[in-house]
Amino acid sequence: MPTTPKEVLALAKENKTKMVDFKFVDLPGIWQHFSVPLVELSESSFEDGFGFDGSSIRGFQPIHASDMLIIPDPKTAVMDPFMTEPTLSLICNIVDPITRQAYSRDARYIAQKAESYLKSTALADTAFIGPEAEFFIFDGIKFDQSVNHGFYHIDSNEGQWNSGRDENPNLGYKPRYKEGYFPVSPTDSQQNIRSEMALVMEQVGIHVECQHHEVATAGQAEIDMKFAPLLQMGDQLMWFKYIIKNVARRHNKTATFMPKPLFEDNGSGMHVHISLWKGDKPLFAGDRYGGLSEMAIWAIGGILKHASALCAFTNPTTNSYRRLVPGFEAPINLAYSSRNRSASVRIPMYSASPKAKRLEFRTPDPSCNGYLAFSAILMAVIDGIQRRIDPGPPLDKDIYGLTPEELKNVPKAPGSLEESLAALKNDCDFLLKGDVFTQDVLDMWLDYKTENELSPIRLRPVPYEFALYFDI
């Protein structure tokens, strides 16, 4: 992979590049881009940058201060696997055109600061992140909202609800509700498309460990990436979503990372594995509970203490809380355990190797901006270690089988986006350390989520309310 502007230009020449595509992330977490002919790219472009209108990007600039610059990162250069004309892709950082300072609301910059802050603490050199992002591959989606109507309609050739549809002929083999994990084909009809997604990921340098059907009917899937340093994994998660959506489109299908698109079947989570290393030494392995070190136990304490505030970044949509419902599959009880998948923090026990020792935070979902979510989790981990936060005893019982009396002292994740934003407002000091998250970023996040998501949802009736209340 290239590391310098000169090597990027050599890569472009080697691949007969005609266009250069600049990608950067908006505050909610969607890639934005624009392209220039190759002749516009020179070594100086990696210092001078290219201008764009920051007022047109979600969560960025006001109209009276809209001019911004993108600065391509030469280490991110790869050939885009989907463009007809040979196209070089570069992920970019954002800077102010006047001060040339990095932009505080650039999520990628926040991830860079999180890594730098970790090193400055001398606790560790590297935070390795391994997300398990689930998603759905559907055959069609329709939705609309107006003054007098509102609806969504999902369709999938795999959907159990289509077992009686006239398909000329209907061949059956549709995964039953909650039984998609994981029968072979023909019940699993999407093996080939997931393999194609995984192989395209390898083309852009992502190490894929596994792909499989997930629990829900209608094409729920998971592709696992090998763990990587935080910033690198933030970049990879952006490629991950981009590739999955574009390969789905190649097959005239559509993919979504919406956490809970289906009623009465599993939602899509994104379990996040994290470990700290110093040099080539893993720091989370030891002789404490679950084979953890004392540092790892304190890290758990940090995650559990700040979990409600973390949810504002790890579960950042109103739809996230259709998944985080007490008594169902998502872990909402803020406890930790080895092996027990109903705990919000789990210690995976697949391997006895110290290098495999890590924490798995199971509450997050894939609707998040990975740069922000991973950075926030790391900041909670650091705070736990610095303050030696005791997470209390582990909870090794089946949490879903506990009585109300046993459960009453187990804290719960927020039940709504509104609750998680309130928690963030009241518990944000740990994020502000090292100037990783700034108050400006937190204020914009709170304002954006309230004005663009919470308030619009509050104003709109949903279909089931008519079933409940029309005859009142």
Q: Catalytic residue at 388?
A: no
Q: Catalytic residue at 108?
A: no
Q: Catalytic residue at 213?
A: no
Q: Which residue in 115, 139, 158, 214 is the catalytic one? A: 214
> Locate tokens 């990608």: which residue?
23
Q: Which residue in 212, 341, 396, 419 is the catalytic one? A: 341
Of 110, 99, 34, 104, residue with least CA distance to 72: 34
Other Cβ atoms within 10 Å of 361 Cβ, number: 26
Q: Which residue in 53, 67, 85, 451 is the catalytic one? A: 53
| Residues 78, 79, 80, 81, CA torsion sign | negative
CA 444 vs CA 58, 59, 369, 451: distances in Å: 10, 7, 14, 10
- HEC states along 37-77? EHHHCCCCHHHHCEEEEHHHCCCCCCHHHCEEEEEECHHHC
Other Cβ atoms within 10 Å of 163 Cβ, number: 12
Q: Which residue in 80, 132, 224, 453 is the catalytic one? A: 132
Q: Catalytic residue at 47?
A: no
Q: Say if CB 42 and CB 50 are below 8 A apart.
A: no
Q: Catalytic residue at 53?
A: yes
3-state helix, strand, coil in the chain (%, to 5): 40, 20, 40
**Which two tokens mark 267?**
């939602």
Q: Which residue in 139, 188, 222, 235 is the catalytic one? A: 222
Q: Is 186 helix (H, G, I), strand (E, B) or coil?
A: coil
Q: Catalytic residue at 341?
A: yes
Q: Which residue in 139, 188, 235, 360 is the catalytic one? A: 360
Q: Which residue in 362, 365, 383, 453 is the catalytic one? A: 362
Q: Catalytic residue at 390?
A: no
Q: Which residue in 105, 108, 271, 358 is the catalytic one? A: 271
Q: Which residue in 73, 134, 158, 188 is the catalytic one? A: 134
> Cis omega before residue 169 (within 30°)?
yes
User: Active-site residues: which are they?
Assistant: 53, 132, 134, 214, 222, 271, 341, 360, 362
